[in-house]
Structure 1
Amino acid sequence: MAEVEVFAARVRGLKERDGRSYEALGRRLGVSASTLHRYGSGAAVPESFAVVGRLARLCGADADEVRELEELWRRADHVRRPPAAPAAGPVTAGGTGAGPGRATANPPGPEPAGDPAPAPVAAPDPGAAPGPAPAPVAAPGPASGTAPAAEAPVPAPPRRPRKVWLVLGAVAGVVALALGAVLLPGRGPEPRQPAEPPAAPPFTYTVASLWENGCGHTYLADRPPARVTAPPLPADAARWAGALGAVDGGQTLVRVTVQGKGPSAVVLHGLHVRVVGRARPLPWEAYRMDEGCGGAVTPRRFTVDLDAPRPLARSRSGYDASGQEGRTIPAVSFPYAVTAAEPEELLVSARAAGCDCRWFLELEWSAQGRSGVVRIGGPGGEAFRTSGRAKGSAPVRAYDTAKGRWITGSESGQGG
């Protein structure tokens, strides 16, 4: 079957382009290596396109390639499992099939036994002379055949006003409720059932704020240089910034580590950005933590432009220049599977120049028939905050360890 072979060849091409084994790809997708091998060899065609679509995106296929692969899968699936012919309906005496909703005629047969039909009553002759009126027919009496004596009409009781009946009905209702409470002990009002909290996701995650390459970062603080202490170590940065009420200036670098709770795979489908507050850039002093630093390895990451109307987390590749020949670190491609033994780190670099933005990350996941979205914020659950610098702000300050104070670039060449 040519359609199946064409589809299988495309699956093999995706696998070869990615470079990973069927076992490695299967772990990411939550399926076995043998299943993926059968798809690539043409021995089997998946019942749905979902697994193969995730495989294509995991191997770096773009939207056009995914649509083309879906069309090839549809043709292969049609050849491997052609649609069944519709079943013919029963044939009636007239020779036509009775389909759904079509009534068939009953075959002729004897009439069912039952009570005989009443004899027809002759219509009166309009030309006949009027005769005596027919005598009334008496109702059947007792077994003796005698007719019962006529009873005198009983007068109706006097009618009570409508308002009296309403009052009596209300009193009867109250009495019935009281009797029910006495005769049926323990039948009090039903307790109010509280809503069940949503089930916890089948994975854990940790959040950490970082400096670029472990040394480069800028904070904005509404304090003069004389009231700002020396730069902290990266491990103490959160405490130092919290004491000053400082916020990230221009960039926030966040690392999210996701790990499954068991051996079953949790599929991560996407990482989204939710901006919950926008304001003008802060006119505060800017304090840089270093004089510039660099690293041999630029890790892969997601970049976010918070100034955009709808910020998106865009996956970027990294670069390792530590060896003699540099190598590119492939970008993270969703969907991505994690387990307890195979966690994943998501590095997000969010930048802002024209706003004071408060934002969250939202991680979309599915596992074992469940799905959901987890909102990720700072270590205390609060929104991340990144602000650009207002126009006309003072120059960025760096710390001069020899002088023991914060200085601007123009002061760096002056004597102590």
Structure 2
Amino acid sequence: MSEAEDFARLMRELKERGGLSYGVLARRLHTSTSTLHRYCSGDALPAEFAVVDRFARACGASAAEAVDLHRAWLLADARRRAGATAPRPAPEPVQAVAAESDREPEPVAAEPAVVVGSATAAGPRARPSWYRRRAGAVAAAGLAAGAVAVALLAVTGPDPGAPSAGAGTGGGAGARGPSGPASAGQPPAEAGAAPPESAVGSEPGSEPGPARPSVPEGGPATAPAPSSAPPPGRAPAAPLKAAVRSHVWAAGCDHAYLTERGPGSVAPPPVEADAPAWASAQRAVHAGSQIVEVTLHGTGGGAVVLEGLEVRVGARRTPPAWNVYQMSQGCGGGLTPAAFAVNLDAPRPLARPVAGSDGGSRQPAPAFPLRVSAAEPVVLRVEATTTGCDCDWSLDLRWTSPADSGTLRIDDGGRPLRTSAATGRPVYGYALEQGRWAR
């Protein structure tokens, strides 16, 4: 029995014992019934452990059963990612994230402070008449193991004797000093994005950072080990590790992309976890809105204080007259996480805290300062929207530690994030019964 089949078997056993229907469980997991059915049949794998955690809780799983389910998901996810390392036919590189190692994370010493959410999205949301729930399955790709460690805390609870979540290798993080801010994100953005100008993604006088490996989103990306002392003229490295996800979909399924290709040349929509590879192959950019999630871990023994986010728009262009392709399967749920909302059309965009809700319960808006350490990771969720520009943008995260202070650049591995307005563009959705894109 394969790892994926073993994971699906455990899900089916928990569901049957819990006595809940697929419809009831899907609503509690904030996903679609067809997607949950594919998880339980082994046709697809959840892209993130948070879905598995909610499933175990909804079915009344014990702590031991939840750990067994988590272990099975880790093994299946590792097998899936191992099979995804074969060369892709698309010439463009696939985005990567700074990630933890692929080992199974152990419980950490403290409950994490998680700040997530979404804001009101702009862009096309109309549902064409052909609209149907998608039943096709595409294998789900894995998340960074650092983010998985955050979810594991909710299942096993704190264990004072366990090692901290910051253990392991991951993408490096830099500080801003006289040489400018360092970059912590994914290597190249969508293949359709224009190469950034020299002033985008860095400040005047900054020096280019080391090259980062190109791997699928969620795969490992190890930065060069820092030297014992920073070179002359450079600020010390930030005591943070960052994993950036720039293809986060609302409710895990609702998003739209722009591409200049016609409907006959665009591949069927992927699941969320495969979106970076799909967007790279289709030379697509985010349409109307973009959600970015950043998971931060401390790398030292002490805590780091996150002081605030600054939005930097490096370029504004006229939105391209391309087609819009909707990814939505008609999913949705009662979860609207809190977030930092960014209006890219503003002369000086700000990251504004926005409250969320979960099943009618209000989630407070995120607020700085925030404390992060190796044992207390933090997840920042930012949703940027635009109705009037094709924007290149990035975020500067200000931090302070007992020894130093600086700024961590959040972008796509040295390239800016890219979000384009899509108002008035032709909108296509995938008609499953016809096997093609249609308006």
Greater length-normalized contact order (CA 8 Å, ≥ 6 residues apart): 2
TM-score, normalised via structure 2 length: 0.46
> Over alpha carbons, which structure has the higher Rg?
1
